[in-house]
Amino acid sequence: MSTIAVPVARPPLWRRLVGFNLLAGIALGIIGYVIGQWIGGRFTGVNIAYYSKTAGQNDIAIMLGYFFGVVGFLIGMGFANYPIQRMLGYPPTLAEHEAEEEGVGRYFRLCTDHKVVAIQYLVGIGVFFFIGGLNAMLIRTELLQPNTHVFGANQYLTLVGMHGTMMMGMMTSGILGPFANWVVPPMIGARRMAFPRIESFTFWLLMAAGVVLITTIFFGGFQTGWTGYQPLGDQNTAGYDAYIGFFALVGVSMTLLGLNLAVTIISMRAPGMTWTRLPIFVWSVLATAALMFLAAPMLIAALLMGAMDRTIQTAFYVAGQGGSSYLFQNLFWVFGHPEVYIVALPGFGIVLELLPVFARKPLWGYRLAVSGMLGVGLLSFFVWQHHLFVSGINADLRPFYMLSTELISLPTGFTFLCFMGTLWRGRIRFTVPMLFCLAWAFNFLFGGISGVFLSDVPSDVTTHGSFFSMAHFHYTIMGGLVFTFFAAIYYWVPKMTGFNLSERLGKVHFWTMFLAFNSTFAPLFALGFMGMPRRVVTYNPSFQALNDWASVSAFILGISMLIFLYNVVWSLLIKREPAEANPWHSKSPEWQLATPVPVYDFERTPVFDPDPYPYGVEPVPVGRPVVAPAGGQA
C-alpha cells in the first residue's frame, strides 16, 4: 500500500513465486497432510491404498494429517527458517521481507511489519467472517418453515456448528488481530510488537485452523454446535476431528497473540508513556490479552483430552468407564466464559477510544473505565457455572454463581457510565464510526439486561438453552463486538490503507445493519420465552410467524454486509481516494503519523504528554513526535 519508490529492479515473476510464501505453504501443507495420513494408517494397520475407504473413520490418521499438514504449512511459510538459522550459527536478523520488500507480495508471506500483519488479519478474518455469516443465512433459510425443507438434520446441525465455531474462533481475534496489532505499537510509542515473528505466526496459524474447520464438510460435519459437548463429540463421525483441530489451533494462536500483546504493552512503552497515560484502548487490549493467555490453554487441554478419547480410547468424558460428561462442560466453560469477555472487552475499548474523538471531549472517568475493564476480566473467571445452572453440578453453589454473574454488571456499568459521561455537554459528531459506537450502547444495553434473566436461576430454568439465550449472546457479541469491529474499520482503515471509505455508503450500511440486526434478534427473545430451544431443525408451527420475520430480517442483515463489501471494493480498490493524514482531527498518537505510514512508523521515538485525551485543552496535542532523550528505546 505504501507509495515509497523502490529503486531496486524487481526479480522476474517466477523468482518471486518460488520461496517461502503462501504457495510453498499450501504445497507443504498438502504433503504434510498425506504424510500424517500415512503414518496414521501405519499406526492402525490401514493401508494408504485404501485411503478412500477408510477416510472419515480413522481418527488417528485424520488427526495426524491435520497436525502434519499445519506443520508443513508453517514450514512452507518460512517459520522454521529463523530457528534453523540460529541453530546453524547464523546471526539473528529481523529483515524478513520488511524494509526491502514493497508491494502485494509481502501480504502472502511471513512479514514482521505489524502493519502488514494487521491488514493480513483484517482480510483473513473478514473472509471467515463472511463464510460464518453465510452459514447464518442458510440456518435462517432452513428455519423459514417448521419442518425440514432445505437441509437435512445433519446438514443443518453442521451449519449451526460451523457458524458458531467459526464466529467464536475467528472473531475472538477480530479486533485484537487487525486493530490491536496495528494501533498498539504507535499508541505506546513502539515501532513493532515484542515478538514480530510470533505476531505473524498467530495469523497464519489462525488461517490454517480455519481451513481445518472447513474440511469438516468432507468428513460428515459435526453435530455438536460450537460447544462440542462430550460424550456427544466422542460418538460423532470424523468431522468432529476438524472441530478439535480448529479450536485447539485457535487456542494456540490466541495464547500467543495474548502473550505478544501483553509483553508489548508491558515492556515496550516509550519513555513517558506511564500506565495512567495509556489510551483506554490499550488498557482493554491488555485486559483481553491476559484473559486470552489464561483461558485458552484450558480449551486446548479439554480438546486434547477429547482427541485422546477419540483416538487412543481413553475415557476422560465417558461416564460408564470412569469419566464424566461434567468434566468437559466444566473445562470448556472455564475457557468459554472468559472467552465471551475476550470477545466483548476490545469492543469496550474501541467505543471508549472513539467517543472522545467524536464528542470532542476527554474520556470521562479514565480510572473508572480502566478499573471496569480489569474488573470484568477478573470476574469473568468466577462465573462459568452459570452455563450449568440446570445441569445438576454443584447445585448448592448456584447462589454464589448467581451473585458473581450479576456482579459483572458493576464493572460493565462503569463502561456505560464513562460512555454517558463522555457525551455530557460534548459536541457530538455523527460520523460512521460514531454511529457504530452509539449502536454498541443500545445493543449492549439489551444484551446486558437480558443477561440478568439468564443469571437469575429461577428465571434461567425457562430461558436456559432456549432462543432467549441465543438472542442474548447475539446482542452482546454481534451487537457488542461486530458493531465495534465495523466502527474500528471505518475509523482506522483510512490510516491503515491510506484510502478513504465512502461516508455515504457507510451510513447506508450502518442503518441497514442496525435496524436489521435488531429486527432479527429481538423476536428471538420472544421465541425463547415461548419455549423454542436452540439448535433445532423443527419447531412448533405456532412459532412460524416470528421465525419468518427473523429470517427475512436476517437476509436484510446479510444484504447490509454486501453493502459494506461494495463499499470496500469501490472505495479501496476502484476509487482509491487518498486519505488525509488525520480526517477525524483525532488527537491520539497513531493519527499523528504520516499517511501512508512509513515502514518503521516514526523516525524518532515519541515522547508523550501527560494527557491521553487533550480535547478542549491547550496547547499540545498528545503523541506529537518530538526528539527523544538520548538512550531512548529504539
Partner 1 sequence: MDHPAAGSTGMPEVNEPNHFLRIVLWWLVVSVIGTALVVFVLGPGLPPGNGSVEASGQVTDNTVLLALSVPVAAAVLVYLTYALIVFREREPEVYVDGPPIRGNASIQLWWLVTTTVIVLFLAGYGSIRLLADGSGGGQGPNPIAAPAASSSDPPLQVQVIAQQWQFNYRFPGYGGVEVPDLELPANTLVEFHVTSLDVIHSFWAYQLGVKADANPGVDNVAYVTTKGPLSVNIRCAELCGVWHGYMFETAHVVSKADFATWIRAQETRFAPATKTLPPYSKTYFPPPERRGG
Site for partner 1 in 345-384 (CB under 8 A): 359-368
Q: State the minimum distance, in angstroms, from the CB of residue 629 to partner 1.
A: 20
- Single-letter amino acid code for the residue at 597: V
| 102 vs 406 by CB, closer to partner 1 | 406
Q: State the minimum distance, in angstroms, from the CB of residue 42 to partner 1.
A: 15
Q: State the minimum distance, in angstroms, from the CB of residue 165 to partner 1.
A: 13
Interacting residue with partner 1 among 99, 123, 127, 403 (CB under 8 A): 403
**Interface with partner 1 includes 335 (CB under 8 A)?**
no
Going by C-alpha positions, the residue among 164, 165, 247 that lies closest to residue 208 is 247
DSSP 255-304: HHHHHHHHHHHHH-PPTT--GGGS-HHHHHHHHHHHHHHHHHHHHHHHHH
Q: Which residues within the stretch 71-130 sit at the binding site for partner 1 (CB under 8 A)?
A: none
User: Of 242-250, 399-407, 471-479, 511-519, which part binds partner 1 (CB under 8 A)?
Assistant: 399-407
Distance separating alpha carbons of residues 535 and 385, to the nearest angstrom: 21
Which letter does DSSP use for residue 228 in this model? T
Q: State the minimum distance, in angstroms, from the CB of residue 416 to partner 1.
A: 6
**Interface with partner 1 includes 458 (CB under 8 A)?**
yes
| 2 vs 391 by CB, closer to partner 1 | 391
Interacting residue with partner 1 among 4, 5, 93, 425 (CB under 8 A): 425
| 367 vs 575 by CB, closer to partner 1 | 367
What is the per-residue burial (b if ≥16 Cβ within 10 Å, else e) of 414-425? bbbebbebbbee
Which SS3 state, helix, strand or coil, does residue 105 take? Answer: helix
| 142 vs 601 by CB, closer to partner 1 | 142
Q: State the minimum distance, in angstroms, from the CB of residue 545 to partner 1.
A: 17
Interacting residue with partner 1 among 2, 81, 145, 324 (CB under 8 A): 324
Interacting residue with partner 1 among 2, 145, 462, 544 (CB under 8 A): 462
Which x/- pattern over 263-302 shows residues binding partner 1 (rule: CB under 8 A)? -------------xx-------------------------
| 201 vs 401 by CB, closer to partner 1 | 401
Going by C-alpha positions, the residue among 191, 246, 278, 317 that lies closest to residue 632 is 191
- Single-letter amino acid code for the residue at 290: A
User: Of 113-121, 257-265, 338-346, 416-424, which part binds partner 1 (CB under 8 A)?
Assistant: 416-424
**Interface with partner 1 includes 530 (CB under 8 A)?**
yes
Residue with cell 425440514: 148
Q: Which residues within the stretch 153-182 sit at the binding site for partner 1 (CB under 8 A)?
A: 153-154, 156-157
What is the per-residue burial (b if ≥16 Cβ within 10 Å, else e) of 565-587? eebbeebbeeeeeebeebebebb
| 457 vs 563 by CB, closer to partner 1 | 457
Residue with cell 475467528: 170
**Interface with partner 1 includes 141 (CB under 8 A)?**
no
390, 460 contact by CB (below 8 A)? yes
DSSP 46-99: --GGGHHHHTTT-HHHHHHHHHHHHHHHHHHHTTTHHHHHHHTTPPP---TTSS
User: Of 324-332, 333-341, 470-478, 553-561, which part binds partner 1 (CB under 8 A)?
Assistant: 324-332
Reported as half-sphere exposure (CB side, CA atoms, 13 A), residue 134 has a value of 7
Interacting residue with partner 1 among 531, 583, 625, 632 (CB under 8 A): 531
**Interface with partner 1 includes 622 (CB under 8 A)?**
no
Which x/- pattern over 557-576 shows residues binding partner 1 (rule: CB under 8 A)? --------------------
Which letter does DSSP use for residue 216 in this model? G
Within 10 A of 515 (CB to CB), how many other CB atoms are there? 15
| 317 vs 486 by CB, closer to partner 1 | 317
273, 189 contact by CB (below 8 A)? yes
Q: Is the peptide bond before 279 cis (omega within 30 degrees of 0)?
A: no
**Interface with partner 1 includes 464 (CB under 8 A)?**
yes
Q: State the minimum distance, in angstroms, from the CB of residue 136 to partner 1.
A: 17
Reported as half-sphere exposure (CB side, CA atoms, 13 A), residue 593 has a value of 28
**Interface with partner 1 includes 460 (CB under 8 A)?**
yes
DSSP 501-530: PPHHHHHHHHHHHHHHHHHHHHHHHHHHHH
Residue 466 has φ and ψ, to the nearest 5°, of -105, 180
Using H for helix, E for strand and C for coil, what is the string for 346-401? HHHHHHHHHHHHHHCCCCCCHHHHHHHHHHHHHHHHHCHHHHHCCCCCCHHHHHHH
249, 70 contact by CB (below 8 A)? yes
**Interface with partner 1 includes 43 (CB under 8 A)?**
no
**Interface with partner 1 includes 579 (CB under 8 A)?**
no
Backbone angle region of 211, left / alpha / beta, with phi > 0 → left and psi within -120 to 50 → alpha: alpha
Q: State the minimum distance, in angstroms, from the CB of residue 134 to partner 1.
A: 21
Q: Which residues within the stretch 13-32 sit at the binding site for partner 1 (CB under 8 A)?
A: none
Interacting residue with partner 1 among 18, 123, 617, 627 (CB under 8 A): 617
Residue with cell 475509523: 491
Interacting residue with partner 1 among 47, 85, 267, 540 (CB under 8 A): 540
User: Of 377-385, 492-500, 508-516, 529-537, which part binds partner 1 (CB under 8 A)?
Assistant: 529-537
| 417 vs 505 by CB, closer to partner 1 | 417
Within 10 A of 323 (CB to CB), how many other CB atoms are there? 19
| 24 vs 273 by CB, closer to partner 1 | 273
Q: State the minimum distance, in angstroms, from the CB of residue 29 to partner 1.
A: 24
Q: How many residues bind partner 1 (CB under 8 A)?
A: 112
User: Of 199-207, 248-256, 451-459, 509-517, which part binds partner 1 (CB under 8 A)?
Assistant: 451-459
| 137 vs 417 by CB, closer to partner 1 | 417
User: Of 252-260, 333-341, 548-556, 611-619, which part binds partner 1 (CB under 8 A)?
Assistant: 611-619
Q: Which residues within the stretch 429-448 sit at the binding site for partner 1 (CB under 8 A)?
A: 429-430, 438, 441-442, 445-446
| 21 vs 224 by CB, closer to partner 1 | 224
308, 316 contact by CB (below 8 A)? yes
Q: Which residues within the stretch 193-232 sit at the binding site for partner 1 (CB under 8 A)?
A: 223-225, 227, 229, 231-232
Distance separating alpha carbons of residues 24 and 77, to the nearest angstrom: 7
